[in-house]
Amino acid sequence: MPTSQPPFETVFIAGGTHGNERTGVALVRHWQQNPAEVTREGFATRLFLANPEAVRANRRFIDCDLNRSFLTVDRAAPGEAPYEVRRAREIAAWMRSPKPGKRSFAIDLHTSTACMGITLITSSDPTNLAVAAAVQDTLPEAKIYCFADGERINSCLRAAAQGGLGIEIGPIPQGVVRHDTLDTTGTVVRQVLDAVQAFNQNALPAPDGRRPIYRHARHVAYPETTPGAPPAFIHRELQGRDYAPLKYGQPIFQDLGGRTWTFDEPETRYPVFINEAAYYREDIAFSLTQRVSLAAMVGF
Per CB under 5 A, does 22 bind Zn ion? Answer: no
Distance (Å, rounded) from C-alpha 43 to C-alpha 25? Answer: 22
Residue 241 interacts with Zn ion (CB under 5 A): yes or no: no
Please state the closest distance from residue 70 (CB atom) to Zn ion, in A: 14
| Residues touching Zn ion, count (CB under 5 A) | 3
- Nearest residue to 106 via CA among 204, 10, 179: 10
Residue 127's H or E segment, with its range, is helix 126-138
SS3 (DSSP) at 115: coil
Chosen residue from 18, 87, 89, 158 binding Zn ion by CB under 5 A: 18
Smallest gap, in angstroms, from Cβ of residue 21 to Zn ion? 5
220 exposure class (CB count in 10 Å sphere: 0-12, 13-18, 19+): buried
Report the residue number whose CB is nearest to Zn ion: 110
Residue 110 beta carbon to Zn ion: minimum distance, rounded to whole angstroms: 3
List, in order, residues 6 or more apart from 142 with CB less than 8 Å away.
Answer: 117, 118, 119, 120, 132, 135, 136, 188
Stretch that binds Zn ion, among 89-97, 102-110, 157-165, 190-198 (CB under 5 A): 102-110
Of 155, 153, 150, the closest CA to residue 122 belongs to: 153
Is residue 158 at the binding interface for Zn ion, with CB under 5 A as the rule?
no
Q: Which of 89, 110, 143, 216 binds Zn ion (CB under 5 A)?
A: 110
Closer residue to Zn ion, CB minimum distance, 22 or 235: 22
* Residues in touch with Zn ion (CB under 5 A): 18, 21, 110
